[in-house]
Structure 1
């Protein structure tokens, strides 16, 4: 019997808010349980910093440049979706469905994300149909009003601001209990650590150590935002609060609430006899900048706070619990799952992590990330350095904040400056040029591969039309 798979995606969850990562005094015993019984990856990274392209990378094993989805939400173009749909990209859900898995997801993003799922949205045969219009409606609204729209949208789907994690867990348990036969793939998307950070009463963390965060009056934060729409958005979900520390305590409370709901999920799996035969993977699509670099309560920028993610993997009987210090990336998750299932499927940018788990070898000397939603930047991170590049002032200007974060070219010595506060690009021009060449070569290679796929697709279409006598 193939093992079941439960995939937990905790939106915008930072690893330093999980106690297993040993950063602060916030207790998350249930996520810790997954780490203690499985593998904790300490240097796991996203491929980008927004949900649509990141989730697509997670479930396809490919960089955004390869699968075609590089924007997010209302900015995803028809051309991007068209390339994705006609490419050879298969999502994990599609692959597992072909392997005989029952596939179910609790999420509302819909569009291409629902491919391969027997059940999507919580009930078999039903979807969150309203989600199809979410992007169009969001475009019509000022960004500052989008949060209120999302709250009402959640409410209509039994996802309220206070019960998101509870509703996701309830739906997941219901799907496994009533709709799925083994082996099953259950995908759960928790949103509590995404703004507006609205944990239930009693969960707001009062005692967490936040000394590493700047505490600013919110009125001063609002004054620093040049975009009036984004300013209105921040004012909307922080209404009634006075400073940034209060907002971060709500984020921490959302983590605690989500952790408690993960406990219910684990207890259900154990009580029903599934746990010992189930792979469990927990990660986030991106991190969250809470005050760092002048980026407040969002995930734009390619700094560590937004691109480093938690990654916990629990495999039934395969490996002893351990911690991995090597670089890994979201694109490595699907190849790893299929390697465990002994499935030969090699159409990935990522690599299986089994060699790391078996003998401690390293797969990546560096990792590559990009963003294209609020600003256009690329980055490479090596063991010691981070190099971030934007190719023009227009591309480098944040459309949320109305300014350039950092500079158009940034180099950080992470050994001496883990907070990425001192740009040393001018003092290390040779190194910067070397990293620039490496990053440009990588993205040019991905672009060439994409062009070849487009050319092959068109060639196949033409040949098909010729065979059909239509041309």
Structure 2
């Protein structure tokens, strides 16, 4: 069995047409999903990029592998095995077209071949395919694991002209939808992604750019599907498509980024096509990044000797078994927060509000009645709050044992994004306090 693992960075499930989005952004992925198994409720428990991919490739939560932020002080313990090492030791030719190694060195572990397309967040899907397709043509007779990492939906949003979804007036002076964004503490850092857009006033214009990026990468993924079929290896190839996290457009005062433990960022796509021996279906059960590694290993017939946090999704692929009852989440870049999500509720605790000092200390959302998480019920549903808070804190304590909580440690040393903001302000000859006062930030 071959394994093709495709990660589309910053791809929000809520902006894909196969997940019910208003625009037909992903027609090729839609067709692929119809022939595969589509998980409707897959979640990233550790965000953003570095924690998420570390979780995917170790099968461990961030609270255990300790990578909970970018520019963090922790490194991945070399004693923790990663998926690629296990596959390679079991006879797989392991290859990546990826540049995560530019972030942290452990992302290159276990690969027989590693092709860095350069450009970190700027490597296009065309560039990825220009390496991946010839590699497949040369190596398809081997038992392989190929990891392809596409960056296109990540900022800056620069889609191909053919994917222009915007029909409004992007610089209407009467449109105030970006005003609060430009007054936020974090804006001097984010401004680098948006200055080239000119005097845009309509947030919907930027949303349309993001959607265009999704359509572009969707088009390029069809080239990968085509070469797999041309080489006649589709029936012997496990294909997994997912993302590290989603993207918030304007929700919760988070503009065009992926922080905040809200559905816009934590709800991820997950499509699995296992060797044609499972019937296509949609699965409503909750699953997580940590479940990918044990699933791949079971389908490959490889036993894992160390304990993983995730569990194999093979029973769900067969139409049996159940998903997880709770998803435990954390972030520690722009703000430090921990959360618990059940099918009905999400409860969030702010440890350090970071770039959002106006944010509430505690948040509770009824996901059945309020899927967009607009109404904070913390004050009204105290019994639910008490139950979820106790469960969340007890769970974290059990996971940690006598070890310090990496989220609290990183937050105590200073959130990395605050340093980024300070550097951006310094280039403007400003301090953070000056910027906040100047913008009358609230």
TM-score by length of 1: 0.79
Q: 1:349 aligns with which of 309, 315, 319?
A: 309
Matched, 1:91 2:82: yes
Name the residue aligned to 1:116.
110
SS across alignment from 2:125: helix
346-355 or 277-286: bigger deviation: 346-355
Q: Could you tell me how far 1:207 is from its partner in structure 2?
A: 6.8
SS across alignment from 2:381: helix
Name the residue aligned to 1:307.
266
Name the residue aligned to 1:417.
370
Name the residue aligned to 1:246.
205
Name the residue aligned to 1:102.
93
Distance 1:109 1:428, change over 3 A: same
Counterpart contact for 2:8–2:149, Cα < 8 Å? yes
Deviations 1:72-120 (A, max 9, x none): 1xx221xx11xx2333x22111111111111111111211111011111
Distance 1:218 1:171, change over 3 A: farther
Q: Could you tell me how far 1:218 is from its partner in structure 2?
A: 5.8
Q: How does 1:40-439 map to 2 (within 5 A)?
A: 40-72=38-70, 75-77=71-73, 80-81=74-75, 84-87=76-79, 89-110=80-101, 111-122=105-116, 154=122, 159=123, 164-178=124-138, 181-206=141-166, 217=176, 219-227=178-186, 229-230=188-189, 232-233=191-192, 235-236=194-195, 238-345=197-304, 346-391=306-351, 395-398=352-355, 402-405=356-359, 407-439=360-392
CA–CA distance in 2 between the matches of 1:86 and 1:5?
Answer: 24
Name the residue aligned to 2:423.
none
Q: Could you tell me how far 1:60 is from its partner in structure 2?
A: 1.2
Unaligned runs of 5+ in 2: 169-173, 405-442
CA–CA distance in 1 between the matches of 2:267 and 2:400?
Answer: 24
Distance 1:240 1:385, change over 3 A: same
CA–CA distance in 1 between the matches of 2:313 and 2:402?
Answer: 24
Distance 1:368 1:197, change over 3 A: same
Moved beyond 4 Å, runs of 4+: none
Deviations 1:111-144 (A, max 9, x none): 111101111125xxxx85xx8xxxxxxxxxxxxx
SS across alignment from 2:380: helix
Counterpart contact for 1:397–1:404, Cα < 8 Å? no
Distance 1:322 1:227, change over 3 A: closer
Name the residue aligned to 1:454.
none
Counterpart contact for 1:34–1:313, Cα < 8 Å? no
SS across alignment from 1:439: helix
Deviations 1:280-332 (A, max 9, x none): 11101001000101100001100000101000000112210000000100100
Q: Could you tell me how far 1:181 is from its partner in structure 2?
A: 4.6
SS across alignment from 2:376: coil
SS across alignment from 2:69: coil
Deviations 1:4-59 (A, max 9, x none): 11111011101122222123231422211221111000000001221001011111
CA–CA distance in 2 between the matches of 1:33 and 1:416?
Answer: 31
Deviations 1:388-435 (A, max 9, x none): 0123xxx1232xxx4343x11000111111111111111111211111
CA–CA distance in 2 between the matches of 1:223 and 1:260?
Answer: 33
Q: How does 1:436-447 map to 2 (within 5 A)?
A: 436-447=389-400
Q: Could you tell me how far 1:449 is from its partner in structure 2?
A: 7.7
Q: Could you tell me how far 1:261 is from its partner in structure 2?
A: 0.3
Q: How does 1:446-457 map to 2 (within 5 A)?
A: 446-448=399-401
Distance 1:222 1:25, change over 3 A: closer
Counterpart contact for 1:411–1:423, Cα < 8 Å? yes
How large is the RMSD of aligned CA atoms in angstroms? Answer: 2.2
180-189 or 379-388: bigger deviation: 180-189
CA–CA distance in 1 between the matches of 2:208 and 2:311?
Answer: 37
SS across alignment from 1:301: coil
Q: Could you tell me how far 1:369 is from its partner in structure 2?
A: 0.7
CA–CA distance in 2 between the matches of 1:63 and 1:421?
Answer: 28
CA–CA distance in 2 between the matches of 1:383 and 1:324?
Answer: 14
100-109 or 350-359: bigger deviation: 350-359
Name the residue aligned to 1:7.
5
Q: Could you tell me how far 1:450 is from its partner in structure 2?
A: 5.8
